[in-house]
Copies of this chain bind each other. A is one copy, B any other.
């Protein structure tokens, strides 16, 4: 309509948007395929949204890709406060969960209450991974890194002494639940990679 939005409410939204800029400076364990540097969580979020869309044929028939994209768009915002926890690191999972819950409260709490509720609810659904949309989103989130590692001679697996058993637990379980076809594709390649490198 051409009228400027109500100033107070609008500056609240812009404050949240400025805060989310910080996700571009949260770096993950994984590297770009070029190897030049580590990947940050903002560009990672963008990339796995592309993964979800391109691989949507692997989702269960009742999955809404639009909701999956929404979840993946916001799923890592908590890392602005809580940091990225490499999935194969030694972490206290209960402490990490509490930290991320507090981060979600603070960060989504920067939004007007209606959008706070929407974001918090989608993030909690993603974390709980017990709806079809969240299970597929979680599977895609776990699928990107091993694909990149396989394409780059094991990538960061060697740096972290990752074992096939760890991958089966931290990657295999969520992928089997949310996109079993992706795991059926991944598993034989993981077997081959670890059979030829694990004993060196």
Contacts and interface: CB of A to CB of B under 8 A. Distances in A.
Given A43-B42, A73-B49, A73-B50, A33 B5 contact: no
A87 interface: no
A163 interface: no
Interface in A42-98: 42-43, 45-47, 49-51, 53-55, 57-58, 66, 69-70, 73-74
A4 to B, nearest CB: 4
A69 B73 contact: yes
B69 A2 contact: no
A115 interface: yes
A86 to B, nearest CB: 19
A170 to B, nearest CB: 20
Interface string A146-177: 01100100000000000000000000000010
Contact of A20 (B5, B50, B183, B185): B50
A54 B181 contact: no
A32 B42 CA distance: 12
A20 B13 CA distance: 30
Contacts of A69: 66, 69-70, 73
Given A18-B33, A22-B33, A42-B47, 14 more contacts: A1-B181, A2-B180, A5-B182, A13-B55, A17-B51, A18-B151, A21-B148, A24-B43, A25-B36, A42-B43, A42-B46, A49-B49, A54-B115, A69-B73
29 contacts: A1-B180, A2-B176, A2-B180, A2-B181, A2-B183, A4-B181, A4-B184, A5-B182, A5-B185, A13-B54, A16-B54, A17-B50, A18-B33, A21-B32, A21-B34, A22-B34, A24-B32, A24-B43, A24-B47, A25-B34, A42-B47, A45-B46, A46-B49, A46-B73, A49-B73, A54-B111, A66-B66, A66-B69, A69-B69
